[in-house]
A and B are shown apart, each in its own frame.
Chain A
């Protein structure tokens, strides 16, 4: 069925279609509607689940851990400060290999307080061991969230489905909502490998002494690497059944491009439009839209970007004291590759600042200049800065 849905509604409906059994989530702008919608579904009997009125995000995720360990399919949602508050437990959930699925409406981090979109929040926890998938539009949100449960449960790894706050979370778009029967076929009931059950007592979350800790962590990293293949497989199956595929990344007019832009999330849509205009003029500009940030698809990126002369990374986050996270991981991917493109990092859209066509074109210009000259004057720049105010040159 085709419906006009906001990103938050899409995430909530996906959780409903996945027949989650326990929802434990705390409201925070701009995710609140996810929690409200799920609460309504449960209240009306549309979803047979326990809705926990938790008192903080830390408790929200803690309850998810308890519920998942007891064998229930669990779901939570958060943003920004909430994600930071639960960050301790993010590492625990992945370390304990629990297939919790989370919707994260990407929002800027305090200080100063900001409720609008950027990707600093999920980037700040990129090390936490959760699979991280970024959605371009609301259709992708509903599809990715449904896929997330399959991926999570087959790998015993938690999955974070990220989508831009306000830009997607609060904007209604036409979405094809999958039928419940089809989702039931795609997503069988959760069969945990280990479960808390008096009939077969297990101990979960013991003290991992030095004799074993590193090995257990290595197993976790191996699971993350295996996740890449699993993501592709599940996505392919989803595509067969529902007619929509996303893969680990999307190549948009990039195969013959000298200058390629690299983005994640809704910004990809804006960049696609700009790329179209350049292509109309015969200029070989392309876009690679990255969907899976964790696991980071090194081989696929090398394959997609390797032939370019310059890559302009547009990202809504910054690792203070260094550069943007996407730039850092992309650059690292090419470190041992002989033929590597020049790379330029563009920090943009922080705290909900609009990334306008002019800014995107500026990035393309800078990357084109680098492609031509063969050198990069300044690797990390900021777009859309109010230079006079800040007294700096971007």
Chain B
């Protein structure tokens, strides 16, 4: 790695190498039967860590387990499960 004059960062978005999924205490599990693909979860995810789709797909590399998606899903298709439990 080479230091830049004035600490300019020339690689846009390189923070993605920092996998914040390790922060999680709870992980969202999507019920593929209930998911309609409305995309509300992906709109409200702060990271972003969830792809819109039918079903929606969580990127567990980045998901911090905040639970907004589960709280907002109109179809209750997302459940927050403690990390490490099936």
Which residue on A lies nearest to B9, using beta carbons? A203
- In the complex, whether A45 has a CB less than 8 A from a CB of chain B is no
Contact digits for B1-22, partner A, Cβ 8 Å, 1 yes 0 no: 0011111111010000000000
Contact count band on B: under 10
Output the least CB separation between A375 and chain B (Å). Answer: 47
| Given A201-B12, A202-B12: A194 and B3 interface contact (C-beta under 8 Å) | no
- B84 smallest CB distance to A (angstroms): 31
Residues of B within 8 A of A216 (CB): 3, 6-7
Do residues A95 and B8 form an inter-chain contact, with CB atoms below 8 A? Answer: no
Q: Is the CB of A96 within 8 A of B12?
A: no
Q: Which residue of chain A lies nearest to B13 when distances are taken between CB atoms in the complex? A: A201
What is the chain A residue whose CB lies nearest that of B10?
A202
Number of chain A interface residues as a range: 20 to 34
> CB distance A97 to B12 under 8 Å?
no
Chain B interface mostly: loop
Interface mask (A207-234 → B, CB under 8 Å = 1, otherwise 0): 0100010011001100100000000000
| B-side contacts of A206, CB under 8 Å | 7, 9
Contact, CB under 8 Å: A194 / B10: yes
Residues of B within 8 A of A193 (CB): 5
A202 to B6, CA, bound (A): 12
B10 near A97 with CB under 8 A, answer no
A390 located at the interface, meaning its Cβ lies under 8 Å from any Cβ of chain B in the complex? no
Q: Which residues from A are CB-within-8-Å of B6?
A: 95-98, 156, 194, 204, 216
Smallest CB gap from B5: residue in A: A97
Q: Which chain B residues (31-64) contact chain A, with CB distance < 8 Å?
A: none
Q: A95-B7, A204-B8, A206-B7 are in contact. List 11 more A-B contacts (CB 8 A).
A: A98-B6, A156-B5, A194-B6, A202-B8, A202-B9, A202-B10, A202-B12, A212-B3, A216-B3, A216-B6, A216-B7
Contacts A/B (CB < 8 Å), 8 sampled:
A96-B6, A96-B7, A156-B6, A201-B12, A202-B9, A203-B9, A204-B8, A216-B6
Interface residues of A (CB under 8 A from B): 95-98, 156, 193-194, 201-206, 208, 212, 215-216, 219-220, 223
